[in-house]
Homo-oligomer: A and B are copies of this chain.
Amino acid sequence: MKLRLGMIGGGPGAFIGAVHRHAAALDGMYELTAGAFSADAEKSRAMGGLLGLAPERVYGSYQELIGQERQRPEAERVQVISIVTPNHVHFDPARLALENGFHVILDKPMTFSLAEARQLADVAEASGCLLCLTHTYTGYPMIKEARQLVAAGTLGPIRKAYVEYPQGWLSGPEESTANKQAAWRTDPARSGAAGAMGDIGTHAFNLLEYVTGLPVVRLCADLNTVVPGRRLDDDGAVLLRLSNGASAVLTATQIAAGEENNLRVRVYGELGGLEWQQADANTLLVKWLDRPTEIRRAGTGYVGSLAQHNTRTPAGHPEGYLEAFANLYRNFALTVQARLAGRPAPPEALDFPGVAEGIRGMAFIENVVASSQSQQKWTEFTV
């Protein structure tokens, strides 16, 4: 049976709301049943109509959605709520949803501040409900392959990692135009303490820790605001130390004119290295000291269990961003279904980002901002 899904946010003009809907739809494991798509009830209703929802399941606010769905019979009410609003409207609806017994899918970064994230973690734990944080990029099968290869020691102890996330779409003062995406992302009151570092730096940070399996313990950040008048960073670079002493470099920018969304990660151990970039997402390069680089490909018979579990088609049928996103939704659905059925979830389904990753992401934002403002070279990574 499909899980009944409610959505908070994702009204007209939103980017990520539509992505969540595609991701939820792709595998037929969710039925979008209810929504509070906008704080403007009219707009919410219009979007609900477009999406073919029953009018009585379209709400004018998230409070209304959660309150009224809570009243519905268990067999009818939504089971999972996706929250796809700007960052400053993550904490309140997530807390309310969890407290009312709904499992939650939450867009990243987890909250507006680290303090909120810590509080939400407590709420989640107390609620007994599940939470998935949509760090999309860890949903890619070849990223999972990378993690599995590193965890198996295939590359030897990790020594060095590079993760870079260049975009160019904020090269000009987009926030002065009608671009709603730009407006809230560059607004400290809606985005939080960081701009580019919060929006995409957190993805890069999550990817780094996910692939290496090593937490960051120290960092040295250099954040910049390149576009005049902008109120948050739109560019930055961070030197890092991982828990085993390895060093890493993370860069994220939204002013690299001409770049699309060019996330790339490289990790090197004593024996070899690996390289992945989103633009060629179904490929993982595995490099060796003394033999030819391998082109590992999604959908082949030789990839590991995680990559296999997170692929739908045979090799040569490229899967992309929506499929990676859908992998998070699918794994979360498998886990929620197991919970509902009172059985353990399949281990490979448990591999989705959640509260722990959310807290570390918020800590990253706060540590990076603090480091950037400091004259001291190294800042300990504190949570």
Contacts and interface: CB of A to CB of B under 8 A. Distances in A.
Contact of A222 (B239, B255, B318, B323): B239
A32 B25 CA distance: 12
Contacts of A273: 168, 256-259
A230 B262 CA distance: 35
B249 A237 contact: yes
A312 B257 CA distance: 22
A260 B319 CA distance: 14
B253 A251 contact: no
A257 B269 contact: yes
A262 B314 CA distance: 12
A292 B288 contact: no
A317 B226 CA distance: 25
A320 interface: yes
B292 A297 contact: yes
A272 B257 contact: yes
A201 to B, nearest CB: 14
Contacts of A271: 257
Interface stretch (A119-127, A155-163, A358-366): A155-163
A287 B323 CA distance: 26
A13 to B, nearest CB: 13
A153 to B, nearest CB: 14
A52 interface: yes
Interface in A1-41: 1-2, 15, 18-19, 21-22, 25-28, 32
Nearest to A161: B256
Interface stretch (A99-107, A209-217, A278-286): A278-286
A72 interface: no
A150 interface: no
Nearest to A288: B258
A314 B261 contact: yes
B313 A19 contact: yes
Given A270-B171, A270-B257, A296-B292, A322 B279 contact: no
A382 interface: no
A310 to B, nearest CB: 14
A63 interface: no
A278 B15 contact: no
A172 B278 contact: no
A205 interface: no
B268 A258 contact: yes
8 contacts: A22-B312, A155-B257, A172-B289, A258-B268, A260-B299, A279-B316, A317-B321, A375-B376
Contacts of A166: 266
Contact of A294 (B239, B294, B375): B294
Nearest to A22: B26
A51 interface: yes
B171 A289 contact: yes
A256 B160 contact: yes
Contacts of A32: 28
Nearest to A248: B237
Question: Which 6 pairs show the lowest CB-CB distances between chains A and B?
Answer: A258-B287, A261-B316, A260-B316, A318-B320, A292-B294, A317-B321
Nearest to A273: B258
A369 to B, nearest CB: 14
B318 A321 contact: yes
A377 interface: yes
